[in-house]
Structure 1
Amino acid sequence: MSIEQLAETAQAMVAPGKGIIAIDESTATIGKRFASVGIENTEENRRAYRELLLTTPRLSQHISGAILFDETLRQSTKDGTPFANYLAKQGIIPGIKVDKGTTALAGCPGELVTEGLDGLRDRLKEYYKLGARFAKWRAVINIAEDIPSGTCIEANAHALARYAALCQEQGLVPMVEPEVLMDGDHDIQTCYEVTEATLRSLFGALHEQGVLLEGTILKASMVLPGKDCDEDADVEEVAESTIMCLKSTVPAILPGIVFLSGGQSDEDATAHLDAMNRVGNLPWPLSFSYGRAMQQAALQLWSKDLKGNVAKAQALVFERAKANGLAAQGKWEG
């Protein structure tokens, strides 16, 4: 795929008023979500739940792409249509999570590095054949006393850049996700400083690895105080801090930025996105790539009757997609 085609896909991913739905939970992670609402973690239940999300009527009005897990990319709707084919027919771009999760970073207590580069080229070839047109890799940055270290930030930035280069080689748009976790009691200024250092390292590594930014999407975490911080931050402060951090680190040539919800409530994630877009005059589109903030209410409703509540659960999914689509244009009314 040419850089023009990669750029075209990337731009479609951040089309006005549209965002990405993230349903790429691993089998273990979705098992925890299912357990919290009393659903058995079977392959058929996982398939049925993903079908509920992906076949939500009118979803493509506000959703441009969907990040899938390996199992999901290989599954089909109940009538036998592969999910990737179904999405493409709806005008939704299929994507795939390709990292293999985090492991302890040797020599850096309390810090993590993401694995999955071994064999990635061949996996990307297969995913492209299965219909994926973009991929996602998540790095995790913890904030605590004396961390993150420069070693941790650089190791994760290098892995993200190697992954991104391999994606573009195989015709997939890389979504790079360096998540700065909300866990901890740090204040918003500390989050700002860590996020800034992380993004500077990331874009330096992308440049060194020859990654074409025109065909790359950033999945960013917002600048927020830690969950256990005594000092709260209002919507405007989060929006202003996040925009300032991005403007100081992210090249204007990037097609767009999508945010992860990162443990925020559904409404907070939407309100923060809306506030940022109301500022206006930004170098890139700011949109969303939410998982829990798109799904949680629907999952709780569906769990009460797996067959009888599909339409009602889909209505909730559409409502969340519409709200975030409006927020991506600074038009959400709350």
Structure 2
Amino acid sequence: MNRRRLAATAHALVAEGKGLLAMDESTPTCNKRFAAAGIPQTVDARRAYRELLVTTPGLGDCISGAILYDETIRQQDSHGVLMVERLVAAGIMPGIKVDTGAKPLALHPGETVTEGLDGLRDRLADYALLGARFAKWRGVIALGQGLPSMACIRANAQALARYAALCQEADIVPIVEPEVLMTGNHTLARCQAATADVLAAVFDELATQGVALDGLILKPNMVLDGLDCPEQASLESVATATIACLLEHVPAGVAGIAFLSGGQSAELASARLNAMNIQAQYAWQQLPWPLVFSFARAIQQPALDLWHGDASNRQEAQEALLHRALCNHAALRGQYDASMEDHVVPDALPFRPARLAAPGHPGL
């Protein structure tokens, strides 16, 4: 383990007011979203969509890293250029999702544990050769009557810690993602208590495994009311509850915190991230880590809806993707405003139509 390299990579991912683009949807998940949008569920369609994402001009100005799926990290675009090369040419660091999904937890109905540790050491070595500098593993925690159980929390925390240790052994920065789900009618206070329990268990297991915190990024949920809760907390209340929970349970040595969007609307995810960074600027206690984003649907969905599988919509979809990335870029400085939604691409970063070519070669 090269701890200095790990720390440098981790800090680069959360530096300079940038966040991460999560484009690591598994094939079944990607196909499900394509089906809902009326897009063919084929390898070629997935390639075309992911090519659209990684070749968006200006994206590297606000995105530091992109989390890929196994198919994508091995894939070439329509010009025979590896997707990874496209990202690197844009100044975006390639990463990889390495878990194999949440499976039912034995003896605990309604709860899951994420699998994928078998063979992970060899897979990480392979991904490193393919260009991955960081990885991601998601643990899923459901809230409900009697949930989560301590068995579920501990099983997922241990899996996250073992994954993180294997990543650092391979000089790959682990993104540790314990997600308390938004589904349900729970209150903000209930989510805060559950998130606190999960974070406490995760960092306990990380310490047991000897994981270096300065070479790690935490990807937590925001503390939120359940989607079915009749009263939804204000932006300021969400920010206060989330920051309080993090300050109590996340060690100062962690390189950074990159929030997941978890099914929030694109605009609401930006607004809540913005409220947290405003509070961070004026907090009596300076936060020890930057608060950035690692969003999937909250950045991608508007672009997917506009693209609709039609090549003629490519530029408009890329404009929408860049717009969402810029909104979140502004939120990291506490400068996001709802009025930004009226302008697709701010003048600060004018959209330039892409002319695809191999990195370093003339346009085709």
Question: What is residue 42 of structure 2 aligned with on the other side?
Answer: 42
Report the alpha carbon displacement of residue 77 of structure 1 after superposing the two structures with TM.
Answer: 2.0
| Contact persistence 2:137–2:175 (CA under 8 A) | yes
**Alignment-derived partner of residue 115 in structure 1:** 115
Cα distance in 2 for partners of 1:30, 1:172 equals 25
Q: Distance in 2 between matches of 1:67 and 1:228?
A: 30
Does the alignment pair 1:320 with 2:324?
yes
Shift of 1:142: 0.2
**Partner residue of 2:311?**
307
Match of 1:283 among 285, 288, 302: 288
Q: Indicate the larger mover: 124-133 or 8-17.
A: 8-17
Cα shift readout 1:94-124 (whole Å, capped 9, x = no counterpart) = 0000000011101111110000000000000
- Tell me the matched-pair count: 333
Q: Write the distance in 1 (CA, Å) between the matches of 2:107 and 2:337.
A: 48
TM-score (norm 1): 0.98
> Hey, what's the Cα distance between the residues in 2 that align with 1:60 and 1:255?
20
Whole-Å separation in 2 of the counterparts to 1:202 and 1:285: 19
Matched, 1:270 2:266: no
Identity across matched positions, percent? 56
Q: State how far apart, in whole Å, the 2-side matches of 1:11 and 1:91 are.
A: 15
Shift of the alpha carbon at 1:78? 1.6
Q: Tell me, what secondary structure is at the counterpart of 2:66?
A: strand
User: How big is each residue's C-alpha offset from its partner over 1:170-192, in whole Å with a ceiling of 9 and x where there is no partner?
Assistant: 11000000000001111010000
Aligned mates of 2:10, 2:23 — CA distance in 1: 19
Structure 1: which amino acid aligns with 2:140? V
Structure 1 CA distance for aligned equivalents of residues 252 and 85 of structure 2 = 33
Per-residue deviation, residues 195-238 of structure 1 (Å, max 9, x unmatched): 00000000000000010001000001000010111121010000
Q: Which amino acid aligns with 1:310?
A: R
Q: Is the 8 A contact 1:274 1:327 kept in 2?
A: yes
Q: After the TM superposition, which segments of 4 or more aligned residues of structure 1 sit over 6 Å from their partners?
A: none
- Cα deviation per residue 1:20-77 (whole Å; 9 max; x = unaligned)? 0001001110111101110011001001100101110010000000000000000012
Amino acid at match of 1:61: D
- The equivalent of 1:330 in structure 2 is 334
Question: Which residue does 1:243 correspond to in 2?
Answer: 243
User: Contact conserved, 2:271 with 2:337, CA < 8 A, in 1?
Assistant: no
Determine helix, strand or coil for the equivalent of 1:227: coil
Deviates more, 1:181-190 or 1:77-86: 77-86
> Is residue 16–residue 329 contact of structure 1 (8 Å, CA) maintained in 2?
no
Is 1:103 matched up with 2:103?
yes
Contact 1:16 1:328 in 2 (8 A): no
Matched residue, 2:212: 212
Residues 1-334 of structure 1 mapped to structure 2, 5 A cutoff: 2-279=2-279, 280=281, 281-303=286-308, 306-334=310-338
Checking the alignment, whether the CA contact within 8 Å between 1:182 and 1:225 is kept in structure 2 is yes
The 8 Å contact of residues 101 and 116 in structure 1, kept in 2 or not, is answered as yes
Structure-1 separation of matches of 2:67 and 2:36: 22
Deviation at 1:333, TM superposition (A): 2.1
The CA deviation at 1:329 is 1.5
- Structure 1 residue ranges without an equivalent (≥5): none
For 1:320 and 1:230, how far apart are their aligned partners in 2?
28
- How many angstroms apart in 2 are the aligned matches of 1:311 and 1:28? 26
DSSP 3-state at the match of 2:198: helix
AA aligned to 2:336 is W
Q: Aligned partners of 2:210, 2:91: CA distance in 1, in Å?
A: 30
Deviation at 1:331, TM superposition (A): 1.4
* Aligned twin of 2:361: none
C-alpha separation between the residues in 1 aligned to 2:50 and 2:109? 36
- Check the 8 A contact 1:182/1:226 in 2, yes or no: yes
Q: In 2, Cα distance between the equivalents of 1:332 and 1:262?
A: 20
